A and B are shown apart, each in its own frame.
Chain A
Amino acid sequence: MSRVLFFIILSLPFSAQAQLTFIELEAMSISPEKLSGEFKQEKYISELAITLSSTGLFSYHRGKNIHWKTLEPIQSELIMTPNTIINRQGDNELFHMDVNAAPTIGLISELFFSIMTSDWQKLAAVFVISGENKDGVWVAELTPIDETIAQFSSRISLRGDHLLREITLYEKSGDYTAIHFDRLSQ
C-alpha cells in the first residue's frame, strides 16, 4: 500500500512537467486577429499508397472567414465562414453550402476553424491534449473526446511556436493530411 502511494507521489511532479495543457498553449502562442501565408499540403491515401501534394496561399480573419487558395496542381478557392462553405474555381462557383443544413460538414468546418485560428478554449471542450514544450517550440497531440469528431479524425497533431506551424490530421482509415505553413504575416 505505502509502496503504491510512494510511486504515485514520485510520479506526480514528472508527469505534471511533461504534460502540455491548453492553458499553457494559450500562454505560449498568440491567436492573431488576421493571418496570412503560404501552405503546403500533403495528403496520404493509404488505399493506393499515394501522396497528393498541393500548395497555395491562405488567409483568415478570426471569427469571420478563412480563404484557402490552392494554386498547384489545380486552381481552386475555398471560402469558409461560420455558416457557409463556398468552393470556387476561377469565377465558377462549384458549390455553395449552408453549414447548418448539413450537420457533418458543419462539424468539420467548425473544427478546422478552431484549429486554424488557435481557438484553444473551443478545442479543450472536444479534445484531450498531450505533448511537450521545448524552448517555446511545442508539439501537441489532440485526441477527440467527442465521439462524432472521432468518426472523422482519430487524432490531430499540431506543431508551433508563438504561431501554429503544422497540422497533421489522422483518419481512422490510415489516411492523413499534413499541412505546413510558411511565410506567415499578421
Chain B
Amino acid sequence: MNLKIDKMKWLAHGWLLLVAVLILMAIKHGPVFDSSIMGLLPESDKEPNVQLATNQMAEGFSKRVILLLSSDNEGEVQAAVRAMAVVLEKLPDIANVEWQVQDKDIVQRQQELYPYRFSILDPAVRKQLLNNEFEQVQKRALTNLYSPLNVGRNSIIDDPFGFFSELNLNRKNDFKVQVSNSLLKVTESVRPTYMMMFTLAGKVSSPSLQNRILSKIKTEENTLNQRGITLTMSGMLLHSAAGAEQANKEITTIGLGSLLGITIMMLFVFRHFKPLLLMISAVTIGCLSALAVTTLVFERVHLITLAFGMGLVGVSIDYALHFLCQRSVSSVSVTIDKIILGLALGLFSSVMAYAAQALAPFPGLQQMAVFSVVGLCTSWLTVILCFPFWTRNYAQQTLSVAIKLDRFRQVFPRLENRPVVIGLGLLICILFSVNTLLSSNYADDVRLLQSSPESLLEQDKTVQQQIIASGSSQFLLIQADDIERCLQKEEQLSSILEQLVFDKLIGGYQSVSSFLPSLQRQNENIRLVEKLYEQQLESYYTSISLSPQNVIEAQKIMDQATMQSLSSQVWLSQEASNEGKDLIVRQVEHGAATLIRFTGTIDEEAVRTLQKLSIEDDAVVYIDRVQNISKVIGVYRSEVINLIILAYLGVILVLFSRYKMQVWRVITPPILATAFTLTAIVYLGYGINIFHLMALILVLGIGLDMGIFLHESHEAPHTWLAVSLSAYTSLLAFGLLVLSDTPVLHHFGLTVLLGLSFTWFLVPVMRRNKYGNVY
C-alpha cells in the first residue's frame, strides 16, 4: 500500500513539475495577443497592401470622435464650443481637436495653392475647356465679375478667369458644415448646432483612456445641460467604453452568480471544500497548459481562441467530477481502474471533435483546436495522475444526493417501456426539427453581433443625419508603381465614380487626385489654359476696357506660373494636404497605394459596379470590411459544421466497436438535443451562426460523456450524480451567459442552456431499465 502511495506521489509531482516547466517556458516566451479579425484569415487570402490599407483606415476611424452641441441660443452654444475646446485640448489623451477654422489657416492654404491655379482646375471649368467652350468660360468670368456676390475675388491680371476662386468655392467639404464666427456650424439643423471633432492619442481600447476622456466630457455635459445645451456624440470610443462597462458589469453579476451557484452545490453534495478545490485545480491546470502550449506553438494567440477555448472548461470538469463521485464509493486503489475506460472514451470523443478543427486551413480554428486538445488532455491527465494522491485520505461515504437524484431518475419515462408513445413523440419532434432546420438561414453578418446600447446607436444616427460623415468600412484601394501612376488610375476611374454619384448610387467620394491631380493631368490643364488665353483673353479685356498692355502682362504672369506643377512631395509638405493625406497608404510593401473613400450610403448596384471594377482591373481592389468579416465568419461556420459532422462519424464508429447495437443509447441524446436546440434557436428568431456551433461542441462533448460514463458504470447512481453535476456546472458557468447583453455571449449561453437541458432530460429516457448498485 505504501509503495502504491509512493508511486502515486511520484506520478503526481512529476506531472505537476512538467506542467510548471511548460508554463514557465511560455512565460519566458511571452504571450502576444492579437485581436485583429484579419489574423483569422488564411495566409493566402491576405494581400499585404489590403491589410495595411484596412488597418490604416480602421485606425483613423476608430480614433475619431464627433461632438455636436446644440441649443436654442446661438451665442451660448458658440461659447460652449470654445469652452469645451479648451477642456479637450488640455487632455493629454487627445492628439488634436478640430473645432474652428482660423483665418490664418485659410490664408495659408490659399497662398500655398495659388501658384498652381492654372494646373489644378475646378472639374466644371476643366470640362468646359475640354469641350472647347472657351467663350462660355469667358462669359462665366464676366458674369461673375458683375455679380453682386463676387467678393474676395483674386486679381483680374493674375487670374482673369477666376480659376482659383472657382476651385475654392466648389471645393466640397466632407460634412454639411458652414463656417460661422470661425466655428463649424451644422447647416441642416433646426436648432443652432455646432460640430467639434477630436482624435485620440492612444488606443481606443484602453479602458483608462476611455475613463479619463469620458469622465471629463461627462462633467462638462452636466454643466452644459443645465444651460440648456445638448451634447450628441459619435465614435468608436463610446462603443468601446460601453462594451467594456457592460462586460465588467456582467462579469461581476453573471460571473459571481455562477461561481456562487457552483460552490453552494459542491458543498451541498460533498460537504467539504476539498472536492471543489480539486475540481478547480484540474480545470486551471488544463487552461494554463493550453495557453502555454498555444503561446509556444503560435506566434500570437488570438483573443477569439481564448473566448471559445474556455468552453473546454465545461468538458474537462466532467473528468474531475466522474473521479470524485466514483471515489466516494470506491477505495483509492481501484477508483481509476473502474473509470479509466469511460474516461478514455470520453476524452477521445471530445478530443476528436476539437482536433478536427485543426484540419481547416484557418489559423483561428487551428489555434482553437490546439488550445482545446491540450487543455482537455492536461485536465484529464491531472485527474488520472494527481487525483489518486490528492484523495488518498479521503473517506468513503455514500452521497445522499446520489440516492435522491437516482430516485428522481426513476420517474423519467423510458423509451423501452413505452416504445410506441415516446418513439412517436420523438419522431414527430425530429421531423419538425428537420423541417425547420432545412428552411432556416444562417446569420454570419458581423453587424448582428452589434452589442452597443440603443441610446448610443440613436446618437450615432443623429450625428450621421446631421453631417454626412464618411464610413470606414467600404473603400477602393489603388495600387501602382508610384504615386503618379496611382493618381492617373484614380483619374481614369473618376468618370465611373461621377456617374455613380450622378445616379445617386453613392453619396460622394474622396480621392487624393481631387486634391492633387496627377502631373500628367496638370500638364494637360496648362495646355488648355494656354489655349483659352490665346483665344479669349484679348476680347475679354477689351469688354471691360482694359488695355493691350494688360493683356501682355496677364500673359506673362501665366507663362511664369505654368513653369512648375505641384509635385506630391511639395503637396505633402503643405498645410493644404491635411484633408487628403490619410488617403495615401503609408508603409506599402512595394510601389504606392492610395484609397478612394465613400461618403453617405452605398447602393447595392454601386457595390456591384465597384466589385466588377475590382475584378477587371488588377490595380483596383474593392474592400468592404464589414462584409469581409462577415464572410470570414460564414466560412468558419461552414467549415466547423463539416468538421464536427466528420469528427462525430469517427467517434460513432469507435463507440460502435465497443457498444455494438447499444450505441444508440449513447449517441441519440446529444444528437437529438443538438437538433432540438438549433430548432429552438431558429424559432426564437435568430439565424444560426458560428457562436451557436462552438457552444454545441460543448453540448455534444458533455452529452457523449454522460452516455459513456453511465454505460461503463452500468447506470450507477453516483455516475448519474457525476454527469448531472457536470451538466449543472456547465449550465451555471456558460448557460447563465444567456442573460448577457453582449450578443456573442448571449448566443453561446442560450445554446449551452438549451442543449444541456435537452441532453439531461433525454439521457435517462434512452437508458436501459436496470440500475446499478450504490456500492
Contact = CB atoms under 8 A, between A and B. Distances in A.
A68 B148 contact: yes
Contacts of B653: none
B438 interface: no
Given A146-B181, A147-B103, A70 B156 contact: no
B151 A48 contact: no
Given A76-B146, A95-B124, A100-B188, A153 B101 contact: no
B152 A151 contact: yes
B176 interface: yes
Contacts, number: 110
Contacts of A126: 181
Please indicate which of the listed interface residues B106, B169, B545, B546 has the most CB atoms of chain A within 10 Å of its own CB.
Answer: B169
B74 to A, nearest CB: 7
Contacts of A109: 149
A103 B149 contact: no
Nearest to A87: B143
Interface residues of B, number: 40
B252 interface: no
Contacts of A102: 169-172
Nearest to B185: A103
A107 B151 contact: no
B178 interface: yes
B287 to A, nearest CB: 57
B148 A112 contact: yes
Contacts of B544: 50, 52
B151 A47 contact: no
A125 B180 CA distance: 11
A165 interface: no
Interface in A129-159: 145-148, 151-153
A59 to B, nearest CB: 14
B170 A74 contact: no
B629 interface: no
A166 to B, nearest CB: 13
Contact of B178 (A45, A74, A106, A175): A106
Contacts of A80: 149
B2 interface: no
A97 B140 CA distance: 14
Given A76-B143, A101-B172, A41 B148 contact: yes
A102 B149 CA distance: 14
Given A41-B148, A151-B152, A152-B152, A94 B169 contact: no
Contacts of B181: 126, 145-148
Interface string B158-186: 00000000001111110011111110000
A50 B180 contact: no
Contacts of A41: 146, 148
B455 interface: no
B149 A105 contact: yes
B177 A103 contact: yes
Given A89-B139, A103-B177, A148-B181, A48 B170 contact: no
B629 to A, nearest CB: 33
A47 B149 CA distance: 19
Contacts of B550: 48
A131 to B, nearest CB: 22
Contact of B146 (A47, A52, A97): A52
A94 B139 contact: yes
B147 interface: yes
Interface in B528-555: 543-546, 550
B149 A85 contact: yes
A54 B702 CA distance: 92
Nearest to B143: A76
Contacts of A119: none
A169 B146 contact: no
A151 B148 contact: no
Interface string A36-78: 0000010101011010101000000000000010100110101
A107 B145 contact: no
Nearest to A125: B74
B146 A107 contact: no
B187 interface: yes
A92 B103 CA distance: 36
Given A50-B544, A152-B151, A169-B151, A104 B179 contact: yes
A47 B74 CA distance: 39
A179 interface: yes
A52 B152 CA distance: 16
B669 to A, nearest CB: 65
Contact of B140 (A73, A94, A145): A94
B44 interface: no
A89 B143 contact: yes
B146 A103 contact: no
Contacts of B156: 45, 47-48
Given A48-B550, A76-B146, A102-B170, A108 B151 contact: yes
B219 interface: no
Contacts of B172: 101-102
A177 B150 CA distance: 10
B173 A101 contact: yes
12 contacts: A48-B546, A73-B146, A76-B143, A97-B169, A100-B188, A101-B173, A104-B152, A104-B179, A105-B149, A148-B182, A151-B106, A179-B148
Interface of A: 41, 43, 45, 47-48, 50, 52, 54, 68, 70, 73-74, 76, 78, 80, 85, 87, 89, 94-95, 97, 100-109, 112, 125-126, 145-148, 151-153, 169, 171, 175, 177, 179
